Amino acid sequence: MQISNILGKDAFRNRKVLVRVDFNVPTENGAVQDSSRIKNARSTIEFLKDSGAKIILISHFGKTTNHNPDQSLKNVIDTVAAEYKSRIVFIEDCLAENAAAIIDASPIGDIILLENLRFYPGEEDCNIDFAKRLAMLADFYINEAFSVAHRKHASIFALPQLLPHAPGLSFRKEVQTIDNFFADNSSPKMCIVGGAKLSTKVNLLKNLVKKVNKLAVGGGIAGVFSAVLGKHPLNIFNAEEYRQNVIEIMENAKRHNCELILPVDFSALVCKEKCESEIFSSENSGAKIFDIGPNSVELFKHHVRESKMLLWNGPVGLFEKAPFDFGTASIAKEVAQLTIDGKLTSVIGGGDTAFAMNKFNVAQDMSYISTAGGAFLSYLENSDLPGISAMKNASVLEN
């Protein structure tokens, strides 16, 4: 991201600053279950509070385009107020005629929160008129929502073209962390890629084999690789559907001297008289794979120990349920300990992967954890995301 100038706190005193955050957090019965994304913007919010700015937060919540009370940002007000230690002024209609008056009447120190952007079709349509209505509310725009930087929406792509702008502190750190991972010449450099479907990771794998020394594949993705290689003990993956992609990834890995690491055994659910977990590496037609096996876990850990840098995207099994959490948990604890010991730089990305690190109580031990899902994946595939291209020649906050 090209930076034109540095902005200190004095630049925002008594100015109205529109901050695009990502408050699309999980809730249950109206209560926030995971506030990680709200916490993620805290450094920028504190920076602006200390600068004497008037802060206006905008976000989406859920996928609705209807005014659904269950997906109103009212659900996060208490959590936001507690996290940012501020009174929240909620505006129920982003386009209300009195919205500007409410903002002007709110004292410095309060935080204004506008209703869910996706209640308005203009947001996802990247409608310039909708963006102009939002831009009229503020003097400056900050993007602190890297997790949606891959979306060409009005609040991500159009607003920076209408207002002086800068990336938020967490947004900038996210981009720099990924960039630094690939720019660092430390080797061996390793990636672990998991997940259920190869279709969502094909472009990522094609890109990574050109940039790292080792690539370990887990989850359902690994099953597809094994099926194409004719090594899979089960006839449950469609080898033909992805044969060409797998062959291309393997050929590229060989061409770029990237060692491809595949599981050698699996943990499966076998249903005979009753259903139970079973480790196997030979034919068992009644099984459903839910995790990599113990020998594969040791293989992955061995390669992690040989590496100096690790990027991990996607759990290697169904980590939400025991005993299929074994693979992800075991590798996560090994990565955490190596990071604590100063032997490994660990970058964790993807919503499920970040959730897993929290579940296994190792998140605080990793070098960096991204709360972004699709944007993290998209940036690894292609660095020119809408939310980044719109911020070219942006100013940057002086932390």
Looking up tokens 């100096």 gives 308
pLDDT tens column, 263-275:
988 887 766 555 5
pLDDT the model gives residue 273: 56
Same domain, 165 and 108: yes
> 112 lies in a domain?
yes
Q: Is residue 398 part of a domain?
A: no
The CA distance from 353 to 373, in Å, is 9
> Is the same domain home to 30 and 158?
yes
Tell me how many domains the chain contains: 2
Q: Identify the domain boundary among 169, 204, 232.
A: 169
Domain identity same for 182 and 259: yes
The yes-or-no verdict on residue 234 having pLDDT over 60 is no
347 found inside a domain:
yes
Quote the CA–CA distance of 129 and 120 in Å, as a whole number. 12
In the prediction, which pLDDT does 12 show?
Answer: 94
Give the range of the structural domain holding residue 185, as residue numbers without chain letter. Answer: 177-381
Are 96 and 135 contained in the same domain? yes
Identify the band that residue 1 occupies on the pLDDT scale cut at 50, 70 and 90: low
Q: Which residues pair with 192 in a beta bridge?
A: 216, 312
Looking up residue 240, the CATH number of its domain turns out to be 3.40.50.1260
> With 50 as the cut, is the pLDDT of residue 284 above it?
no
> Same domain, yes or no, for 82 and 217?
no
CA distance 342 to 165: 37
| Whether 61 and 112 share a structural domain | yes
Indicate whether 310 pLDDT > 60: yes
| In the block, residue with structure tokens 């690539």 | 215
CA–CA separation, 172 vs 170, rounded Å? 5
Position 391 in a domain: no
Which domain-ending residue is among 138, 169, 200?
Answer: 169
Helix (H) or strand (E) holding 81: helix 77-84
CA atoms lying within 13 Å on the CB side of residue 389: 12
At 5-24, the pLDDT tens digits run: 778 888 999 999 999 999 99
Please give the order of strands across the beta sheet that includes 275-280. Answer: 275-280, 266-271, 287-292
Q: Is 392 part of a structural domain of the chain?
A: no
Average model confidence (pLDDT) for the chain?
90
Confidence (pLDDT) at 276? 57
pLDDT of 228 reads 84
Burial (Cβ within 10 Å: 0-12, 13-18, ≥19) of residue 347? buried
Please indicate, yes or no, if residue 37 is contained in any of the structural domains: yes
Categorise residue 109: left if φ over 0, alpha if ψ from -120 to 50, beta otherwise. left
Cα–Cα distance, 389 to 168 (Å, whole number): 15
DSSP 273-310: SSEEEEEESS--TTEEEEEE-HHHHHHHHHHHHT-SEE
264 shares a domain with 229: yes
State which of 169, 187, 203 marks the end of a domain: 169
Q: Can you name the residues that pair with 108 across neighbouring β-strands?
A: 110
Indicate if 365 and 231 belong to the same structural domain: yes
Q: pLDDT-based confidence at 286, cuts 50/70/90?
A: very low
Length of the chain: 399
- Residues 153, 228, single domain; the answer is no
Q: Kindly report the pTM of this predicted structure.
A: 0.87
- CA dist list (Å): 39 to 19, 144, 172, 355: 14, 11, 16, 14
On whether both 201 and 83 belong to a single domain, the answer is no
Same domain, 188 and 332: yes
Q: Please report whether residue 30 resides in a domain.
A: yes
- ∠ at Cα 195 (22, 305), nearest 5°? 100
Q: Are residues 202 and 300 in the same domain?
A: yes
Spatial CA neighbour of 372 closest among 171, 129, 130 = 171
Q: Is residue 390 part of a domain?
A: no
**What pLDDT score was predicted for residue 77?**
97
